[in-house]
Amino acid sequence: MDHRSALIHCRKLTQIPFVILAVLALAFSASIQAIPQNPQPGTARLDAVQVTGSTRFTSDQIASAIGLHTGQTVRRETFQDAADKLAELGLFQDIQYHFSTVAAGVKVTYQVADAPLLAVTFDNFPWLSDDELSAGLKESGILFDGTAPAKGTILAAISQSLTRLLDSRGIHGRVTHQVVTLPIKDQTVLQFRVDDADLTLQAVEFSDALANKDRRVQERVADLVGKPYSRDAIELFEFEQVRPIYLQHSYLRVNFPPPRARLAADPSKVLSGPVIVSATINTGPPYQWGGVQWRGNVSITSQNLDGLVDLKPGDPADGNKIEATWEHARTAYSRAGFLDATIDPVPQFDDKLGRVIYTVNVSEGPQYHMGHLVLTGLSVEGERRIRTYFPIAIGTIFDQGTYELFLSSGIKTAFAGLPVHYSKTGHFLQEDKDTAAVDVLLDFQ
């Protein structure tokens, strides 16, 4: 068996500069012409193709997606073209390949690394569930596992496959995509939606009585009714408006499965009309407060941190009060100069006793002191006034609460009676971990 290889140059992929294509190749033309079973000069039979390195997709799935299959007739350019397709998809990076002659033709191996991907969401598809949409995408033959890159040809392929899937159901809409940031957990996702759909929300039906009866929830639902249907908007509503009601009633493990939507009117008008949303709420059991254990805190005692808790053992574990406790703790550390302090609460649920105990891991970081006050955009008198009224002296502990109060009201006080008015103030804190000093930069416009 003859195994020979030489280095060949790959075409430069200007549209995807981060992909590195290191191509190891045979002296292809000479070797494949030596294989008698291919009468066409410069061609060979593809005996085997293998793709390694991906944890998301199998070798067969990737090979099929780039148009390679055993038994086909290939040229030297075939393998480079396939490597280009891999790079252009956006799903992979650090792509390398090599091939060698075997008794039955040519064997090629691609090595890839999975690129960073975003979760995919389907915003206004009331005709199909997420499972049906995902199954349709996978059956179409494209590479899809619920995620996609921010850029790449796979995005157009997903949009086209969704369009064909809707067409097969008699729904003729235009599917587009965009990268959006969801306020829930500040998550960046790839959102697919039907742009030319004219769907309006008629009602939200909650599965649990508490949400259906709560006056605050029902008043806020009214704000959504009559607006364009968007599942992302429904999920944000559940998180911001419904979830706090359940936390207040001690349902600390409440969760919201993806809401389901259905057309409420003439099913023949599939791209327009009212939509009714069914919102399932899994409440879980209510809990009682069992206490908190602080770990890692040195500068603020556990007794002082306990004083921030507005609950006593045996009280209903009001989740809103619990979350407020962690915010109070973060504020206490920021006011003591610990600007990098992190508060990490870990609940321990005892379903048998109906009780929750929290272990809170504290990482304090350095305690910052006031460094320089850097001012730009001010007149001589304006700068004099700001320096006079700025409440934190150089070298003293930097109290972030005092600093924020100065931004909100102290600046206005400093400029009282001054004929010049500044419409905008830029502000920035520049931390130096080595010296534990923080400089304050204020830009007046």
Q: According to CATH, where is 3.10.20.310 located in the chain?
A: 6-114, 118-279, 288-363, 369-444
CATH fit for domain 369-444, picks 3.50.50.60, 3.10.20.310, 3.40.50.10490, 3.40.50.720: 3.10.20.310
CATH fit for domain 6-114, picks 2.60.40.1220, 3.10.20.310, 1.10.600.10, 1.10.645.10: 3.10.20.310
Q: What is the 3-state secondary structure (H, E, C) of the chain?
A: CCCCCEECCCCCCCCCCCCCCEEEECCHHHHHHCCCCCCCCCCEEEEEEEEECCCCCCHHHHHHHCCCCCCCEECHHHHHHHHHHHHHHCCEEEEEEEEEEECCEEEEEEEEEECCCEEEEECCCCCCCHHHHHHHHHHCCCCCCCEECCCCHHHHHHHHHHHHHHHHCCCCCCEEEEEEEECHHHEEEEEEEECCCEEEEEEEEECCHHHHHCHHHHHHHCCCCCCECCHHHHHHHHHHHHHHHHHHCCCCCCECCCCEEEECCCCCCCCEEEEEEEECCECCCCCEEEEEEEECCCCCCHHHHHCCCCCCCCCECCHHHHHHHHHHHHHHHHHCCCCCCEEEEEEEEECCCCEEEEEEEEECCCCCEEEEEEEECCCHHHHHHHHHHCCCCCCCECCHHHHHHHHHHHHHHHCCCCCCCCCCEEEEEEEECCCCEEEEEEEEC
Q: Which CATH superfamily is domain 118-279 in?
A: membrane protein fhac (3.10.20.310)
Prediction pTM value: 0.78
Q: Provide the residue-wise pLDDT of the chain in tens; the chain has 445 residues.
A: 333 333 333 333 434 443 343 333 434 444 444 444 455 777 899 999 999 999 999 999 999 999 999 999 998 899 999 999 999 999 999 999 999 988 888 999 999 999 999 999 999 999 999 999 999 999 998 999 999 999 999 999 999 999 999 999 888 999 999 999 988 777 899 999 999 899 999 999 999 999 999 999 999 999 899 999 999 999 999 999 999 999 999 999 999 999 999 988 766 667 888 999 999 999 999 999 999 999 999 999 999 999 999 999 999 999 999 999 999 999 999 999 999 999 999 999 999 999 999 999 999 999 999 999 999 999 999 999 999 999 999 999 999 999 999 999 999 999 998 887 788 899 999 999 999 999 999 999 8
| Statement: 288-363 belongs to CATH 3.10.20.310 | yes
Whose CA is closest to 279, among 224, 225, 242, 240? 242
